[in-house]
Amino acid sequence: MGTNFPQSHHLQNTPFSLPRKQFLTYILYALLPLALFHYLLFNPLAAPKPPLLAREAAPSQHGHAPVNALEEQLPPPPPGRGGEVLALGETQGGDVSASGSASPACDYSDGEWVPDGRPPLYDGTSCGTIKDGQNCMAHGRPDTGYLHWRWRPRRCHLPAFSPEAFLRWLRNRHLAFVGDSMARNQGESLLCLLASRSRPDLVYRDGEENKFRRWVFREYNATVSIFWSPLLVRVVEKAEQDGVRHNNVFLDSFDERWMSQLGAVDAAVLSVGHWFLIPGVYHDGGRVVGCHDCADLNLTETAFFGVFKEAVHRTLAEVARRHGADRKVVAVTTFSPAHFEGDWDKAGACSRRHPYREDEKELGYTENEMRKTVLEAVAAHAGDGPLRFAALDVTKLANLRPDGHPGPYMRSDPFAGGADARVQNDCVHWCMPGPIDTFNEILLQTVAG
Ligand SMILES: *[C@@H]1O[C@H](CO)[C@@H](O)[C@H](O)[C@H]1NC(C)=O
Ligand SMILES: *[C@@H]1O[C@H](CO)[C@@H](O)[C@H](O)[C@H]1NC(C)=O
């Protein structure tokens, strides 16, 4: 059942050099949110402090740089999803699925947000597992319009989330979320959605910031866990120096904190991306093969896209090697765009109160490349065996929701110091409830196939 790494995925052969303009685009993207990443990802409980880095340009200025001529073309969508999309909402709460019969695979990625009068399934207090920074309701976010949109795919129907249907599928199963804080955001969204019908018991917690947790829905013998693994492969998080932190990323070494647990898992959702934009030194085969955002280290700059691609491909190949004969679903969530507007050093924020229409907000170059990498990797590793890889292709729908981030409400009562107070904004993660609940609507249709 072994799956060898295709030669083309060897790092040495990956085209890393990029036209100057593209490179600039990446840097603009990478640096602006960087201070926030440092703040949110490394030091989430700390008191507000000034950004570590400040740059002049707006993050929305993604050029539409030509795709590198050496990039592979996007292969056709992964086979094997056709007919597997299950209409699970049929008997619950009027969630009538329009695709009750064996329908062709639905492309949930392409669509629009439409108004939806229904209340969310949970709120800021009904669920005990919302990370503080994403509990916008409890933190006093005054507007509620962002709660009343549903994603309507262009060519098919996405049933509303049915906790009953999900719990029926999850009975006697174990679902794991693996990745960075976006994985945690999505995992907590699912727990809250399910908690609207059945109470989860926290049965395990470990690690600073509860990076490893497990809950059981006893009524269903259903288990959900969250594993912290921000790059999927092994990383040694390095101490910050002069405002810059270089993680040491080992591309040939898997993160066994989750990889070794997969045997006990029936389905996994992998969600990574943003950490690849953070300064890193990349190791492979016992030597340094590149680095990102590391001019001070006197190493050659490497684009993080190639490294992201390596990490995702190698991880999926290893999962297939170890578990190719298992009946498992491994879903990979595509990149979730950030929505900072304005200069970072002038309190860049995400203050829009409505979704974008599709023609208002094109996908940026970075977001598109990150998304494409996941779709390609899933397609490349989707075999014929019982193990099933799937992409949770949320990049486009997330790109249209600048209104769904905590913004200043990552903290309680952010304007206590006056309406003009300069506050830290989170335009990366998602309010809960909020647009990230839609990721799990799609997950339900994906895993239950
Ligand atoms: C309970 O769920 C686990 C998966 O988390 C499964 O291995 C086990 O067999 C289930 N127990 C029963 C009695 O079905
Ligand atoms: C940087 O690297 C180059 C080539 O490896 C070397 O010649 C040079 O001395 C290095 N500079 C410093 C400051 O270490």
Find out whether 170 and 218 touch, Cβ atoms under 8 Å: no
Residue 259's pLDDT is 98
User: How many A from CA of 172 to the centre of ligand 1?
Assistant: 4
Residue 343's pLDDT is 64
Query: Among all residues, which ones are annotated catalytic?
Result: 181, 426, 429
Which CA distances in Å does 364 have to 72, 180, 429, 431?
A: 19, 21, 18, 22
The residue contributing the CA closest to ligand 1 atom 14 is: 172
**pLDDT, tens digit only, all 449 positions of the chain:** 333 333 333 333 233 333 333 333 333 333 334 444 444 443 333 223 222 222 222 233 333 322 222 222 223 333 333 333 333 333 333 333 333 334 457 899 999 999 999 999 999 888 888 888 999 999 999 999 999 999 999 999 999 999 999 999 999 999 999 999 999 999 999 999 999 999 999 999 997 777 999 999 999 999 999 999 999 999 998 766 666 678 999 999 999 999 999 999 999 999 999 999 988 999 999 999 989 988 777 788 888 999 999 999 999 999 999 999 999 999 999 999 999 987 655 667 899 999 999 899 999 999 999 999 999 999 999 877 899 999 999 999 999 999 999 999 998 888 887 776 678 899 999 999 999 999 999 999 999 86
- State the ligand closest to the CA atom of 294: 2
Distance (Å, whole) CA 364 – CA 359: 13
User: How many A from CA of 325 to the centre of ligand 1?
Assistant: 19
Find out whether 174 and 225 touch, Cβ atoms under 8 Å: yes
From 187, 181, 176, 375, select the one nearest 274 (Cα to Cα): 181
In the chain, domain spans:
62-448
Of ligand 1's atoms, which has the minimum distance to the CA of residue 221? 1
User: How many A from CA of 44 to the centre of ligand 1?
Assistant: 35
Find out whether 177 and 184 touch, Cβ atoms under 8 Å: yes
Distance (Å, whole) CA 252 – CA 285: 7
- State the ligand closest to the CA atom of 174: 1
Find out whether 123 and 433 touch, Cβ atoms under 8 Å: yes
From 276, 302, 375, select the one nearest 332 (Cα to Cα): 375
From 337, 234, 317, select the one nearest 281 (Cα to Cα): 234
| CB hemisphere CA count around 262 (13 angstroms) | 28
* Site of tokens 């994985």: 183
Lining residues, ligand 1, CB within 6 Å: 172-174, 221, 223
Residue 346's pLDDT is 61
User: How many A from CA of 296 to the centre of ligand 2?
Assistant: 11
The residue contributing the CA closest to ligand 1 atom 4 is: 173
Of ligand 1's atoms, which has the minimum distance to the CA of residue 223? 5
